[in-house]
Structure 1
Amino acid sequence: MVFKRLLGSLGVGGPTVDTVLEPGAVLPGGALSGQVHLKGGDSDFTIEHITLELVARVEAEHDDGESEGAVVFDRFSVGGNFRLAAGERHSVPFSVMLPWETPITELYGQGLGIVLGVRTELAVSGAKDKGDLDPLSVRPLPAQEAILEALGQLGFGFKSADLELGHIGGTGQRLPFYQEIELAPPSQYAHQVNEIEVTFLAGPGGLEVILEADRRGGFFSEGHDALHHFTVSHHGVEQINWHAEVDSWIRQLVEHRASYGGHGSHGHVDAHHGSHHHGHSDPYAAHGGHPHKDGHGHGDHHHGDGHGHRSGPGMGTAIAAGAAGLAVGVVGGMVAAEVVDEVGDFFEGDEEDEGDED
């Protein structure tokens, strides 16, 4: 899906820009490559700069409800300072690195409802225009996929995913928003948990995993959230028995008693050695406190039993089968169609001048 736009600030006769991304989904922290195709207008123009912006549709919570808006979360200069003759065609190749925390938009090719885009800004003869807008697809890192696979095998079902404006306290979060993936619990946890939310914060050194349970209130207590925080290495992902590892995380999350509801726990998975560490081995501990979205920490730790067993033959096949249920069970037909429509609305609604579509 490519959106071609006439350079509105110069009117009819100005140059046009058409940015084409290389096909396929990209990885967080990976390379985003493509070409910016320019076509000269009725006269010569100086192209001062070509800038790519990464844009996300993000939800923001207010006292009177929620609202959605576009957030630019990175910018890259990919060319400029050249003359574009009348009618001349010129292409500028680019390859830029996505931020590690770039949200994932799909799992096994199924859209999750997250809307990201690449917007091309063209500066010509002192005038700027947001000239071209293209959807961006991002697939999970191996550790992210392995964790989601394990959750699917454990019986959790995908409900929804969104981007929330704000920071999670006690983490290494760098972007102004974070992604929440909401999952419905399997039957054995349904009486204790309404849903769990998974947030991934990736970085060059590894992956932070924040689990939050929206738990059903007991007879003497109101429902409350419980947060757990784990870190995972990017290396040796295939050496971990993720079913056992993630199962231990979920048990820690769900088995908190009401009196410990506000307390979180830290853990660190060293995938290369297949071991699980707790407490101060957390490489992000210097940020202080426990990860709560209001930024407030709690003073106690709760540690459960961690598992780091190497997976046996056939584990990958079994996990993949479980994860297919996680992805396809809810993210299908109607939802996928709505996501496509939303992409169009996102990009078209972001510009006052609709321009021409391709």
Structure 2
Amino acid sequence: MVFKRLLGSLGVGGPSVDTVLEPGAVTPGGVVAGQVHLQGGNTDFAIEHITLELVAHVEAEYDEGEAEGMVAFHQHVVAGGFRLAEDERRSVPFSFTLPWETPITELYGQGLGVVLGIRTELGVAGAKDKGDLDPLAVRPLPAQEAILEALGQLGFGFKSADLELGRIGGTGQQLPFYQEIELTPAPRYAQRINELEVTFLAAPAGLEVVLEADRRGGFSSGGHDALTRFTVGHHDVEQADRNAEVDGWIRRLVEHHAPDGPYGHAGGALFAQGGHGGHPGDGHRSGPGVGTAVAAGAAGLAVGVVGGMVAAEVVDEVGDFFEGDDEEEDEGDEG
């Protein structure tokens, strides 16, 4: 998908910019590549910089309630310090490495409803324009996919996925937010937990896998959350007993009477852009937000016959988000 719009800060006659990504999804820690196409305006312009910014639609909990907005989490300068002649057409190639903790947006080609994008900022003669916003597709690393596949084979079902502002204590988390993938319990655990939440924190050496179970309460005690963490190497994908290993993680999690280590969720700063004011709350995980319920079908994490319908609704919502963002900025420029 390509978005093209006039450089709003300069008005009619200014240069325009299109950012085109190479087709296909990339993996966390993988390379994003493409080209930025420039079209000169009705006079020469000094291009100070072309910067690509990774943004994510993130949710947060505050004392007053919940909020959501866009958070920028990585920047890459493509080029700068050149003159774009009148009516000149110029294409500038780029490539850069995604942060290892970049959330996944799809599984086996099926969108999860997580919104990631690349925003193009064009700096011209002291003015900046954050106009071009292109959706970014990210598929799981082999180790992430193997764990999700094992969970599906064990009988867990996909429920939702979203991004939460804050940090998970006791981990090596680098980004200001984390992704949680919410699963319905396998039949053997349905009497003990309401849902299972999985967070992957990838790094060059491997994965931290943080599991959180919403445990059911008994007659004499209320329910509560239990957390634990495991590490997996990137090259441990072909492990023959993967299902047994993951099942062992779940049993360890649900049998513990207290969280395994200091894995609290600390609230983060306010949104970099598009956020709402307020004070960070205690960082507990919240429910799904915009476009977070989708079937993961081929992975075995299916939600039944309605999965296809839910997935279609999510795709529409994600598309509307990007189109709506572009339209809102256009309206703002006109004002």
Distance 1:327 1:21, change over 3 A: farther
1:125 offset after TM fit, Å? 1.3
The equivalent residue for 2:144 is 144
The equivalent residue for 2:263 is 291
The equivalent residue for 2:270 is none
Corresponding residue SS for 1:151: helix
Q: Distance in 1 between matches of 2:38 and 2:169?
A: 44
Preserved contact between residue 213 and residue 225 of structure 2 (Cα < 8 Å): yes
Corresponding residue SS for 2:129: strand
1:291 offset after TM fit, Å? 1.9
In structure 2, give the amino acid aligned to 1:233.
Answer: G
1:5 offset after TM fit, Å? 1.3
2:303 is aligned with 1:353: no
1:328 offset after TM fit, Å? 6.8
2:75 is aligned with 1:75: yes
Preserved contact between residue 112 and residue 331 of structure 1 (Cα < 8 Å): no
The equivalent residue for 1:229 is 229
Structure 2 unmatched runs, 5+: 268-295
What per-residue deviation string (whole Å, max 9, x for no partner) do you get for residues 24-67 of structure 1?
Answer: 11000100000000000111111110000000000010123211
2:311 is aligned with 1:335: yes
1:334 offset after TM fit, Å? 3.1
The equivalent residue for 1:324 is 299
Q: Distance in 1 between matches of 2:248 and 2:147?
A: 12
Preserved contact between residue 149 and residue 300 of structure 2 (Cα < 8 Å): no
The number of residue pairs the alignment matches comes to: 303
In structure 2, give the amino acid aligned to 1:325.
Answer: G
The equivalent residue for 2:96 is 96
The equivalent residue for 1:158 is 158
1:153 offset after TM fit, Å? 0.1
The equivalent residue for 1:243 is 243
- What aligned pairs does 1:14-53 form with structure 2 within 5 A after superposition? 14-53=14-53
What per-residue deviation string (whole Å, max 9, x for no partner) do you get for residues 92-125 of structure 1?
Answer: 0001000000000000011111000000000011
Distance 1:322 1:49, change over 3 A: closer
Divergent runs of 4+, >4 A: 327-331
Q: Distance in 2 between matches of 1:39 and 1:182?
A: 44
- What aligned pairs does 1:101-120 form with structure 2 within 5 A after superposition? 101-120=101-120
Larger Rg over CA atoms: 1
The equivalent residue for 2:259 is 263
In structure 2, give the amino acid aligned to 1:348.
Answer: G
How well do the aligned residues superpose, as a CA RMSD in angstroms?
2.0
1:168 offset after TM fit, Å? 0.2
Preserved contact between residue 148 and residue 323 of structure 1 (Cα < 8 Å): no
Preserved contact between residue 27 and residue 138 of structure 2 (Cα < 8 Å): yes
Corresponding residue SS for 1:24: coil
Distance 1:51 1:347, change over 3 A: farther
Corresponding residue SS for 1:32: strand
Corresponding residue SS for 1:237: coil
Q: Distance in 1 between matches of 2:131 and 2:224?
A: 46
What per-residue deviation string (whole Å, max 9, x for no partner) do you get for residues 296-339 of structure 1?
Answer: xxxxxxxxxxxxxxxxxxxxxxxxx9953315747533333333
In structure 1, give the amino acid aligned to 2:308.
Answer: G
Corresponding residue SS for 1:217: coil
The equivalent residue for 1:276 is none
Distance 1:347 1:52, change over 3 A: farther
Q: Distance in 1 between matches of 2:228 and 2:63?
A: 27
Preserved contact between residue 200 and residue 207 of structure 1 (Cα < 8 Å): yes
The equivalent residue for 1:318 is none
Percent of aligned pairs with the same amino acid? 74
Distance 1:327 1:80, change over 3 A: farther
What per-residue deviation string (whole Å, max 9, x for no partner) do you get for residues 200-243 of structure 1?
Answer: 00001110000000011111111101101000101142134211
Q: Distance in 1 between matches of 2:129 and 2:248?
A: 51
Corresponding residue SS for 2:144: helix
The equivalent residue for 1:267 is none
Distance 1:122 1:85, change over 3 A: same
Distance 1:136 1:202, change over 3 A: same
What per-residue deviation string (whole Å, max 9, x for no partner) do you get for residues 235-281 of structure 1?
Answer: 1421342111101111111223xxx2x231xxxxxxxxxxxxxxxxx
